[in-house]
Amino acid sequence: MARLTRTAAMRPVVIIGAGIQGCATAFFLSQRGQPVIVLEKDHVGRHASGVNAGGVRRLGRDIAEIPLSVASMDWWNQIDQLLDIDEGFHRQFYVKVALDDAGADLASRRIQQLHRAGFQHEIWVDRDQLLCRIPHLTKSVFGGVLVEGDGWALPWKITRAFHDKAAALGAEFRTPVTVTSIDRSGEHWQVTTDKGMIETDIVVNCAGAWGAQIAKMTGDNLVIEAHAPMLVITDRQPMFLQSVVGVMGGTLSFKQLDNGSMVIGGGQRGVADAARNLTQIIPAGLSSFVMTAGRVFPHLRDVAILRAWAGIEGYTKDNLPIIGNGSQAGIIHGFGFSAHGFQLGPAVGEALADLAMARQTRVNLTPFSPHRFAGSSRRPLGVKEAL
Ligand SMILES: Cc1cc2nc3c(=O)[nH]c(=O)nc-3n(C[C@H](O)[C@H](O)[C@H](O)COP(=O)(O)OP(=O)(O)OC[C@H]3O[C@@H](n4cnc5c(N)ncnc54)[C@H](O)[C@@H]3O)c2cc1C
């Protein structure tokens, strides 16, 4: 496929979506002197990137995703200097505890699988060591799989910081502006919005749960589903946890913020209505992961839940994101992060900036190719596109 020759003198790269992926891409492009316009239909960090659980983990990743996650951790470890912020990343450890024999078996198989693939970052920690590090854990814990140096961050703070830094470096953010169509015009792309049209050579699709709609406008039929994972936050409790805790073979994400509140999630979904930007909470789902949290930390059984929410996220069929060139020159996709894209954000921003500038990416993006799905075939060009 013919690729455009891209230089900093070209017209601005147009990024659709100001979540973490769009803002991080804008940051890396701006840092390299490439003009950028970001179009966002709502406001910066309005969706998944502003409301997620803030888990920054390599733990438990699909093996295909580990190199990207490891590359991202390099950026997380220097996020304060990168974005001129304080305490952007709470570097702690992340552990998935085994609560029974089945969990311990799963842990052992997981670690062996990682070793075979050449990764050593997930380690088994036995019951006594774990209780020493997290004294409030249930005494019936078997042990856990742990990654040193994983942790958490405030999602809105990081997404906003990528935005602020990109803007300071010259990126232009236009909000609220909705992209309604994308058409080929000679060698360029015309991105039509509810506030006018922009001509560009490169479009980067960071539209999250709406990414497939944008892809379709460019001729790529990529399927994702919108879902709404839910979270709760509790009242403030005395500090007892300096790590993030999950459950082996179960679904729990548990952390304590600096003010003592706990953010708890665990795979349970509400109802997502992406067309209307709405989510609905399903209380039975909330009680399922809150009960698991009570099993892991018995002293918390009577804690008050202050608030629950859900965010709209795009899921792919294989739960790996779609990152790569579209089927037409000048179209780049980066969406479908399937509820684990916050940690990946910095490395994804770097990779999308590399693709936009036709540079070699640091990480092999083949596992994330938009073309890996059957049915992701190119749609026939419309009349305007074919001109
Ligand atoms: C409740 C919850 C908990 C999560 N917990 C974690 C976690 O602990 N760790 C982790 O790594 N990940 C987590 N995730 C996943 C993570 O939040 C997402 O993978 C990530 O934020 C996706 O970023 P994004 O930029 O692709 O999408 P988004 O943040 O959704 O941004 C896409 C943007 O595109 C805009 N857009 C869409 N269509 C158009 C259009 N036509 N014109 C203009 N703009 C448009 C949208 O308005 C939106 O703002 C969680 C997600 C949720 C919902």
Q: Is 128 helix (H, G, I), strand (E, B) or coil?
A: helix
Looking at the structure of the chain, the number of domains it has is: 2
Q: How many CB atoms lie under 10 A from the CB of residue 152?
A: 24
Say if 359 falls within a structural domain.
yes
Q: Are residues 203 and 307 in the same domain?
A: no
* HSE toward the beta carbon, residue 374, CA cutoff 13 A: 0
Say if 355 falls within a structural domain.
yes
Candidate from 27, 51, 52, 195 with most ligand 1 atoms within 8 A of CB, to mutate: 52
Q: Are residues 112 and 197 in the same domain?
A: no
Residue by residue, DSSP assigns 337-379 as -TT--TTTHHHHHHHHHHHHTTPPPSS--GGG-GGGSTT-PBP
Ligand 1 is surrounded, with C-beta below 6 A, by 16-22, 39-42, 46-49, 51-55, 178-179, 206-210, 214, 229, 231, 253, 265, 311, 313, 335, 337, 339-343
Q: Are residues 246 and 377 in the same domain?
A: no
Q: Are residues 119 and 139 in the same domain?
A: yes
Q: Are residues 242 and 347 in the same domain?
A: no
Tokens 């202050």, residue located: 306
- H/E stretch holding 26 reads helix 20-31
Which domain-ending residue is among 300, 315, 330? 315
Q: Are residues 97 and 122 in the same domain?
A: yes
What is the 376 CA–ligand 1 centroid distance (Å)? 22
pLDDT for position 114: 97
Domain containing residue 188: CATH number: 3.50.50.60
Q: Are residues 309 and 376 in the same domain?
A: no
pLDDT for position 251: 87
Say if 287 falls within a structural domain.
yes
Say if 57 falls within a structural domain.
no
Q: Which atom of ligand 1 is nearest to the CA of 50?
A: 29
Q: Which two tokens stand for residue 170?
A: 């010259």
Question: Cβ contacts of residue 168 below 8 Å, gap of 6+?
Answer: none
Q: Which two tokens stand for residue 269?
A: 């979904």
Say if 265 falls within a structural domain.
yes
Q: Are residues 331 and 382 in the same domain?
A: yes
Say if 192 falls within a structural domain.
yes
**Positive or negative, the Cα torsion across 160, 162, 165, 170?**
negative
Q: Are residues 230 and 301 in the same domain?
A: yes
Nearest CA, atom 30, ligand 1 = 208
What is the 207 CA–ligand 1 centroid distance (Å)? 8
Q: Are residues 286 and 343 in the same domain?
A: no
In the chain the first and final C-alpha atoms are separated, in Å, by 19
pLDDT for position 374: 59
What is the 124 CA–ligand 1 centroid distance (Å)? 32
Which domain-ending residue is among 263, 282, 315? 315
Domain containing residue 133: CATH number: 3.30.9.10
Which domain-ending residue is among 275, 293, 315? 315
Say if 1 falls within a structural domain.
no
Q: Are residues 46 and 173 in the same domain?
A: yes
Q: Are residues 219 and 323 in the same domain?
A: yes
Nearest CA, atom 12, ligand 1 = 340
Q: Which domain holds residue 123?
A: 91-149+225-315
pLDDT for position 6: 47
pLDDT digit of tens for each residue in the chain (387 aa)?
334 444 444 699 999 999 999 999 999 999 999 999 999 999 999 999 999 999 999 999 999 999 999 999 999 999 999 999 999 999 999 999 999 999 999 999 999 999 999 999 999 999 999 999 999 999 999 999 999 999 999 999 999 999 999 999 999 999 999 999 999 999 899 999 999 999 999 999 999 999 999 999 999 999 999 999 999 999 999 999 999 999 999 889 999 999 999 999 988 999 999 999 999 999 999 999 999 999 999 999 889 999 999 999 999 999 999 999 999 999 999 999 999 999 999 999 999 999 999 999 999 999 999 999 855 444 433 323 322
Say if 6 falls within a structural domain.
no
